Amino acid sequence: MGNLKLRLANKELTIGTWLTIAHQAVVEILGSAGFEWITIDMEHSAIDYGDVLNLVGHIQGNGMEALVRVSKNEEVVIKKVMDAGADGVIVPMIKNKEDAEQAVSFVKYPPVGKRGVGLNRAQKWGTGFNEYKDWTKKVAVVIAQIEHIEAVNNLEDIINTPGIDGVIVGPYDLSASMGYPGEYDRDDVKAALERVVEVTKKSNKSLGFHVIESRYAFLKERISQGYTFLAFSLDFFFLGDRAREEMKKLKEDL
């Protein structure tokens, strides 16, 4: 079993980050920080399939596992990134059991799923399909992104869907679905988040959260709340926040 798959199954703490800048240098720099995995964001970035093929290889080559947050829960989108060699997918806007079952089916080959068979990097360019087919059954990671109040209301069904390894909260979209985009400190949004924590803790699945802020104190807060699958900020916040902070200090000191 892959290291991330095993850690998720054991509900162990695992920390990764988010990639929106399609360059191997960014992967190498983030890899030097000690992240265990990186999620390539195809939903809210200019990253395309050609970039994914390149970035997955660099992530894995730097000792991390490569996840892809796909643009949508759709067969061709998911099978393309899996064929590119991704270790798994984070699927946005999973709202119910049917959505979760569909996501799993697009990752898994028949008879478990309905993924079409193609030969690409994941299958060692046609020389390792049988090995990869077995890997897909045992190691491929499928994470349901919980970012709508409807998903919170259907969370038990989503979490208990066979093939779902865990959930990750998208706080911005969750608050937006309640009419308050970005206001995830509101009491009603907090209540929705608390329900996600409560339901997931009762299951045998990992509980994830994307901590947007680039300061580790925000990550520690989520760890104390019981989150174990944590995405720590993203590339442009790590870059921009540090640059802005240091320039602000310099200007104040001049």
Which one of 44, 58, 148, 210 is the catalytic residue?
A: 44
Q: Are 193 and 200 in contact (CB under 8 A)?
A: no
Mind spelling out the 3-state secondary structure of the chain?
CCHHHHHHHCCCCEEEEEECCCCHHHHHHHHCCCCCEEEEECCCCCCCHHHHHHHHHHHHHCCCEEEEECCCCCHHHHHHHHHCCCCEEEECCCCCHHHHHHHHHHHCCCCCCCCCCCCCHHHHHHCCHHHHHHHHHHCCEEEEEECCHHHHHCHHHHHCCCCCCEEEECHHHHHHHCCCCCCCCCHHHHHHHHHHHHHHHCCCCEEEEEECCCCHHHHHHHHHCCCCEEEEEEHHHHHHHHHHHHHHHHHHHC
| Integer Cα distance of 203 and 147 in angstroms | 19
148 is catalytic: no
Residues involved in catalysis: 44
